[in-house]
């Protein structure tokens, strides 16, 4: 039976399907073996492979579609001389229709119009050429088309498997929104890959493997050309195969892979291409559709209670407003602020948190001279989520960061508050600011955007695909800050580093870890070196003594774990350094990344009107301290040693997290804590939806 299936007109279709499933299963096995101490039990592993097979078959049913169409619609009659005039007339007629009738208006969709014209013209040229060739050459042509198509598909499947491997090594998960972003920013990503891996060797090996596989199944490809099958039988079989993916997509649900409490097992159960499609279609999740809610009035009531502090007063009795006046008894001091958000600076890179590799010697020494925040948690796992928290001071909303969404201008931001206070407000980035939509977001929310374009090529000591070396960024920053000071106005400058990012390369001779090693520890130590160099040079400037320097991570270097939201994957440090202004102090208060902005404003003792969800941690009672951690779907709320996680569809779970290992034990949800968690996320979703969180 199996032999008969593979010896038929559609043998190539079956080969492609089997090959895709085989590659997917091998990939899943490789990912499982690479996870190390993942905590995946034998039963979870078996379940992952069973559920994963369903997703593999679903995607496989889609992958075979081009071959089904080719083998269904391709027939010898188009090559016969007696019908060639009719074929010629058909294509000429279609071309004329496209060009002159306006059925596909060029001004409506020029890309579609030109693509159709080009395709039809190409087919006509091919048929015209074949018309003058002997019959056996026409058969060879059909074989060549299938050989080439099959080889290309095999190469792409192998390339995807390798890509999944590297993505898993970086993020410990299947494709997600990050992969979608990588597709959008192709230049940076391909550059990053080529600098991080032997891309030429990898591609060469994959091409050779694809060719060898094609040679190995060449008989089945010949069968698809030479073995006869009536058009009626081909039609019945093809329609069935084309309806199969529609049926499978309708029946099989993405939520099936979330079968356990172990996120490694859940990720293994997925299929990379399937998860990529899910992420692509879910750029933003409607909180009110996918998450458990409480009445809006109740949500705002809970939130207003949480935001009420001795130095804040709501400006109205509107139950759906969080606008309030913030004031301090001490006099205002309009000091300069330099906020350095450091790429992927996990807390555990620092000696204070147990690191013994000495990768942050300068920050370690600076901790004892600063306000050192030891209990701070990032909002998410990507730079854009950190930038959102630092600039907008709002909890993370499900889906993509606000930084990446359309119509994200005119929001209430740290930049807009300080600009109204007479500050020069800027965002400085070591890469090109079009990346991750930074230029549009910051430019439309109270900041002047300055990026690597402002550095003359001759003054760039080193660069990789992500941007210039951190020391070059800080050299640019010094020039900008000098210019700001000359204007006689206070300034707020947010600087975003890039060097602690794969491929982890940096200039030679700076630290004791050579850049050729291309390891994260080297990149971290180089960024530490660059911050030291920057502050040493800044200390010679006249504006130094009236400036507060804030050093904080955008997110951790990794957030993977056997639980959905491991707290260790969000623990980041913050140092606020101003030797002539602030007394060194260790701050152990539970702090959210969204609290950074209000805490800075609190140090300045500014009176301002706020719509921030974040609070001045140095003036917040301990009983009101909380933090937010998230993925694109999981929304975490940390308070009093408990973690509440909300996720689709309308799921609520409560844990007691282990702050040393990241593991967590499940417990019965507490109504008051759950309501607080819902209130924060529901109200920000409501305010954004109603366009109320504006400047």
Percentage of the residues of the chain whose pLDDT score is greater than 70: 86
Residue 618 is classified by DSSP as: G
Tens of pLDDT along 278-322? 877 666 678 888 899 999 999 999 999 999 998 999 999 999 999
The domain made up of 290-689 has a fold known as Alkaline Phosphatase, subunit A (3.40.720)
pTM exceeds cut of 0.85: no
Is beta strand 585-587 parallel, antiparallel or unpaired with respect to 591-592?
Answer: unpaired
**H/E element, 607:** none
Q: How far apart are the C-alpha atoms of 376 and 687, rounded to whole Å? A: 26
| % of the chain with per-residue pLDDT over 90 | 57
**pLDDT at residue 605 greater than cutoff 70:** yes
pLDDT of residue 108: 44
Of residues 455 and 548, the one with the higher pLDDT is 548
Most confident of 141-155, 247-261, 321-335: 321-335
206 contact partners, CB below 8 Å, separation of at least 6: 155, 158, 159, 162
Task: Give 159's Cβ-side CA count (13 Å radius).
Answer: 15
Q: Name the band, by pLDDT with cuts 50, 70 and 90, for residue 584.
A: very high
pLDDT digits (tens, 9 = 90+) for 505-543: 889 999 999 989 989 999 999 999 999 999 999 999 999
pLDDT reading at 277 higher than 50: yes
Token readout for 354 is: 């147990």
pLDDT at residue number 78:
46
Q: Where along the chain do its domains lie?
A: 2-77+135-281, 290-689
- Rounded distance, CA 607 to CA 96, Å? 70
Tell me how far apart the terminal alpha carbons of the chain are, to the nearest angstrom: 70
Of 199 and 154, which is predicted with more confidence? Answer: 154
Each residue's pLDDT tens digit, 419-460? 999 999 999 999 888 888 899 999 999 999 999 999 888 788
Per-residue confidence (pLDDT) for residue 168, from 0 to 100? 85
Q: Is 455 helix (H, G, I), strand (E, B) or coil?
A: coil
Looking at residue 133, what is its pLDDT? Answer: 61
**Contacts for 456 with CB less than 8 Å, ≥ 6 apart:** none
User: Please, which pLDDT band fits residue 131 given cuts at 50, 70 and 90?
Assistant: low
Q: What is the pLDDT of residue 232?
A: 85
Cα separation, 110 vs 99, in Å, equals: 12
Give dist(CA 681, CA 299) in Å, integer: 9
pLDDT of 456 reads: 86
- Residue 635 pLDDT more than 80? yes
Confidence check: pLDDT of 162 > 70:
yes
Bigger pLDDT: 224 or 612? 612
Q: What value, to the nearest 5°, has the Cα angle with vertex 222 and ends 220 and 223? A: 60
Q: What is the pLDDT of residues 368-406, one digit of tens each?
A: 999 999 999 999 988 999 999 999 999 999 888 999 888
> Residue 221 has what pLDDT?
83
pLDDT score recorded for residue 104: 47
What are the φ and ψ backbone dihedral angles of 586, each rounded to 5 degrees? -95, 120
Mean pLDDT, to the nearest integer, of 636-642? Answer: 96
- DSSP helix/strand/coil, 643: strand
């Amino acid at each position: 039976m199996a032999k008969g299936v593979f010896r038929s007109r559609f043998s190539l279709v079956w080969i492609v399907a089997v090959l895709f499933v085989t590659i997917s299963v091998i990939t899943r096995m490789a990912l499982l073996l690479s996870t190390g101490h993942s905590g995946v039990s034998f039963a979870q592993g078996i379940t992952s492979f069973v559920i994963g097979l369903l997703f593999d078959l679903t995607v496989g049913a889609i992958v075979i579609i081009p071959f089904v169409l080719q083998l269904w619609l391709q027939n010898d009659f188009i090559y016969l001389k007696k019908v060639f005039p009719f074929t010629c007339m058909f294509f000429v007629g279609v071309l004329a229709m496209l060009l002159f009738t306006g059925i596909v208006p060029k001004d409506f969709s020029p890309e579609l119009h030109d693509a159709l014209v080009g395709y039809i013209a190409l087919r006509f040229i091919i048929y015209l050429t074949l018309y003058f060739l002997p019959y056996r050459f026409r058969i060879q042509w059909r074989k060549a088309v299938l050989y080439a198509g099959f080889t290309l598909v095999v190469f792409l499947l192998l390339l995807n498997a390798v890509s999944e491997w590297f993505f898993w090594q970086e993020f410990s998960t299947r494709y997600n929104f990050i992969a979608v972003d990588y597709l959008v920013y192709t230049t940076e990503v391909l550059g990053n890959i080529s600098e991080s891996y032997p891309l030429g060797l990898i591609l060469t090996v994959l091409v050779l493997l694809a060719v060898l596989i094609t040679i190995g199944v060449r008989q089945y490809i010949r069968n698809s050309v030479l073995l006869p099958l009536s058009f009626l039988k081909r039609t019945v079989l093809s329609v069935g195969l084309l309806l199969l993916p529609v049926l499978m997509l309708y029946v099989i649900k993405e939520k099936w892979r979330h079968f356990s409490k172990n996120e490694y097992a859940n990720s293994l159960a997925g299929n990379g291409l399937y998860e990529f499609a899910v992420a692509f279609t879910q750029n933003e999740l409607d909180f009110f559709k996918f998450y458990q809610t409480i009445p809006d009035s109740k949500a705002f009531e809970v939130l207003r209670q949480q935001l009420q502090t001795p130095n804040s007063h709501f400006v109205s009795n509107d139950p759906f407003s969080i606008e309030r006046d913030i004031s301090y008894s001490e006099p205002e001091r309009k000091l300069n602020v330099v906020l350095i958000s450091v790429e992927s600076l996990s807390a555990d890179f620092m000696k204070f948190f147990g690191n013994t590799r000495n990768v942050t010697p300068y920050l370690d020494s600076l901790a004892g001279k600063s306000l050192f925040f030891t209990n701070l948690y990032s909002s998410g796992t990507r730079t854009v989520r950190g930038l959102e928290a630092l600039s907008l001071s709002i909890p993370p909303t499900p889906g993509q960061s606000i930084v990446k969404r359309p119509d994200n201008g005119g929001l209430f931001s740290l930049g807009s508050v300080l600009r109204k206070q007479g500050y020069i407000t800027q965002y400085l980035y070591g890469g090109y600011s079009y990346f991750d939509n930074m230029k549009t977001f910051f430019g439309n929310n109270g900041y002047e955007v300055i990026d690597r374009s402002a550095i003359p090529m001759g003054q760039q000591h080193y660069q990789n695909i992500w941007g210039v070396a951190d020391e070059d960024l800080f050299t640019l920053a010094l020039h900008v800050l000098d210019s700001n000071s000359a204007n006689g106005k206070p300034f707020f400058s947010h600087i975003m580093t890039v060097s602690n990012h794969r491929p982890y390369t940096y200039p030679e001779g700076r630290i004791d870890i050579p850049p050729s090693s291309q390891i994260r520890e080297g990149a971290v130590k180089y960024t530490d070196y660059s911050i030291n160099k920057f502050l040493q040079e800044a200390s010679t400037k006249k504006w130094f003594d009236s400036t507060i320097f804030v050093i904080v991570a955008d997110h951790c270097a990794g957030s993977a774990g056997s639980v959905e939201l491991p707290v260790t994957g969000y623990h980041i440090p913050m140092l606020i350094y101003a030797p002539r202004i602030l007394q060194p102090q260790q701050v152990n208060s539970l702090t959210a990344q969204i609290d950074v902005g209000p805490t800075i404003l609190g140090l300045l003792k500014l009176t301002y009107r706020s719509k921030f969800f974040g609070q001045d941690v140095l003036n917040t009672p301990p009983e009101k301290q909380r933090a937010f951690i998230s993925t694109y779907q999981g929304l975490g709320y940390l308070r009093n040693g408990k973690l509440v996680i909300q996720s689709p569809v309308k799921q609520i779970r409560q844990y007691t997290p282990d702050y040393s290992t990241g593991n967590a034990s499940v417990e019965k949800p507490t109504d008051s804590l759950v309501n607080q968690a819902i209130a924060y996320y529901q109200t920000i979703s409501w305010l954004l939806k109603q366009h109320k969180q504006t400047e």
